[in-house]
Amino acid sequence: MQASDHPETSHAAGPTEPPLIEKPIGAVLTETAAAHGDRDALVEVATGRRWTWAELRTAVDEVAAGLLAAGIRKGDRVAIWAPNCAEWALVQFATATVGAILVTVNPAYRTHELRYVLGQSTARLVVATPSAGSSDYAAMLAAVAPEVPTLERTVFIGTDSWTEFVDAGRSVDADEVTGAREATAATDPINIQYTSGTTGSPKGATLSHRNILNNGYFVGELCGYTEMDRVCIPVPFYHCFGMVMGNLACVTHGSTMVIPAPAFDPGATLDAVAAERCTSLYGVPTMFIAELGHERFGDVDLSSLRTGIMAGSPCPMEIMKQVIDRMGMSEVSIAYGMTETSPVSLQTRVDDPVEKRVSTVGRVGPHLEVAIVDPATGERVARGEPGELCTRGYSVMLGYWDNPEMTAEAIDPDGWMHTGDIGVMDTDGYVAVTGRIKDMVIRGGENIYPREIEEFLYRHPDILDAQVVGIPDAKYGEELVACLRLRPGADEITAESLREFCREGLARYKIPRYVQILDEFPMTVTGKVRKVELRERATQAVGVTRPSSAG
């Protein structure tokens, strides 16, 4: 049942069945291992290592014992800094087992960011790989450790220090691990994820067992997961997409976690789907674009795919259609959320019409509410009108770690998390996210939402990827720049030829004044385009803008 939709205003509440899971992560892992002990739980394709659920539970308890032997207790902060690997998942579940709070560190962080998050979270122990890509993690940790007074120990995966760390746990009685698991409560904080804004230091979104376990569970429910599903997870574990929508969705359903590679590689992802007969594939739109454009795409057997999730940034309609038609993901789901809401608050259903799945981010999830409000007044807007998307319910974070002021700015007194995203709710409760409030361009007094223009530009046969940003303009306040990646062998696109293409489909004030052709877009490690950097580059490239004649 749909609990309480308000047909006139932009508010909707999700169904209240099935009930919320009121257990901590360790208890659910134990139940899953008992129910599906001999089935695959975790596969690391790059090394060929694999664990059944029974083996995974044993391995997790060994790492949990290692944490206890190291003096880690409930509420202590343990950081992990590594690309995707099996040990990442083991540490995730082991910290949950002993009640420690896992601090997930972005693999792309440099020394100053690392110093900040370890210090701000007062981490006692760090688990890391010695290096990742071109980054020397060991050297960076050695540099910052003296400046983090609480940091007592660093354990490096794949080295003697990891072996010693696990071996030390053999002196811990199994009853002590069981006691620690039973002493954790569903409402305890279990994870700090640092979200970086465009200004200021990262904020540590603090999440509970209840927050993330239920979110993983309901994401899996809406994808129709069972113990027969095998989920390919190329998105990073340090982010909610990997560790919650991936790992915890699998734990709550007995599905298999498949790690295709330490970092995203389109060929390795396609190969993992084929080799492991994955039924579900995750990714942000840029990942799916890379897979669809891979030179071996047509040679890889993807016939096992049924579903998957595209999330992390708005999905171009044309890409969604290709994922359904060319990759065979007929039940692919679009999900929307943010770290502060564990993350998913809106998701399409497998039986939604394709039109809804390519034009919206779905409807509100179970046990949650969403509303769209006027950013200036806080009043709910009418359906069909744009406003700020807000979420309320079990998924809203406990707060920003040790930052009550920022928490109060994000979560209002009625418990609504203000996302900063612009949304529009239709009469059926489906929500389209049209951009960030901060990305909205105001040109000559007109509010312009870049997403609408980007969707139109994807229709151009020579455009592979499109991002639209606003830059300062002396006459109009802001002017539009279309940043484009072209298909191989495409004809040149000029500002004038693009304007000609746009004239048939866009109002004059929405037509980009400038065009920038780029080989690659600046990206975050999670695969999101860094629009702030695109805006800065475009502003520099155009220089001091002269009064524009377009319009």
Beta bridge partners, 203, equal 195
Q: Point out the residues of the chain with pLDDT beneath 50.
A: 1-4, 198-199, 544-551
Helix spans in 298-427 (H): 317-326, 354-359, 404-410
**pLDDT 10s digits, 358-400:** 889 999 999 999 999 998 789 999 999 999 999 999 999 999 9
The pLDDT score that the predictor gives to residue 80 is 98
How far lies 442's CA from each of 299, 418, 476, 477, in Å?
46, 22, 8, 7
- H/E element, 86: helix 86-98
Note if the bond before 234 is cis, omega within 30 degrees: no
Residues 6 or more apart whose Cβ sits within 8 Å of residue 164? none
Alpha carbons 268 and 287: distance in angstroms, whole number: 12
Alpha carbons 482 and 449: distance in angstroms, whole number: 13
DSSP type of residue 242: I
Q: Which one-letter amino acid corresponds to residue 467?
A: Q
Q: Backbone dihedral region of 299: left (phi > 0), alpha (psi from -120 to 50 degrees) or beta?
A: alpha
Using alpha carbons, select from 286, 291, 275 the residue that is nearest to residue 327: 291
The pLDDT score that the predictor gives to residue 547 is 35
The pLDDT score that the predictor gives to residue 2 is 39
The pLDDT score that the predictor gives to residue 443 is 87
- Full set of structural domains in the chain with CATH: 11-425 (3.40.50.12780), 440-542 (3.30.300.30)
The pLDDT score that the predictor gives to residue 5 is 62
Using alpha carbons, select from 259, 206, 253, 220 the residue that is nearest to residue 236: 259
The pLDDT score that the predictor gives to residue 202 is 85
Helix spans in 108-198 (H): 111-120, 137-144, 160-168, 174-182
**pLDDT 10s digits, 239-281:** 999 999 999 999 999 999 999 999 999 999 999 999 999 999 9
Alpha carbons 162 and 66: distance in angstroms, whole number: 10
